[in-house]
Amino acid sequence: MAPGLAHPEFNEGYMTNPEINTELVQMLTDARLSARLQLLDALESKLDTLKANHASADQIISTLRAWANIRQLNVTKEGSI
């Protein structure tokens, strides 16, 4: 059993308690927002690097596509663990 599921509150209606459920939804929303902001920061950094290297439009597009594909693969791998 997963460590969080062993907690007594979980087994005694934790997920049905509206107050806790609302708090959980807010925490998940905050986490997603934080992840999006981190992704935007990484994208901005990548674009700054490409600009500093005087990359062409085609180089920028192909580099960003490759970068996005690698990030997607990493997220997929992390999700399957």
Using CA atoms, how far apart are residues 26 and 78, in angstroms rounded to an integer?
23
pLDDT tens, residue by residue, 25-50: 899 999 999 989 998 999 999 999 99
Using CA atoms, how far apart are residues 59 and 57, in angstroms rounded to an integer?
5
Q: Mean of the pLDDT values across residues 5-18?
A: 57
| Range from 1-5, 7-11, 45-49 carrying the lowest mean pLDDT | 1-5
pLDDT at 66: 93
Q: What share of the chain is helix, strand, coil (3-state, %, to 5)?
A: 85, 0, 15
Collapsed DSSP state (helix, strand, coil) of residue 78: helix
To the question of pTM greater than 0.75 for the whole model, the response is no
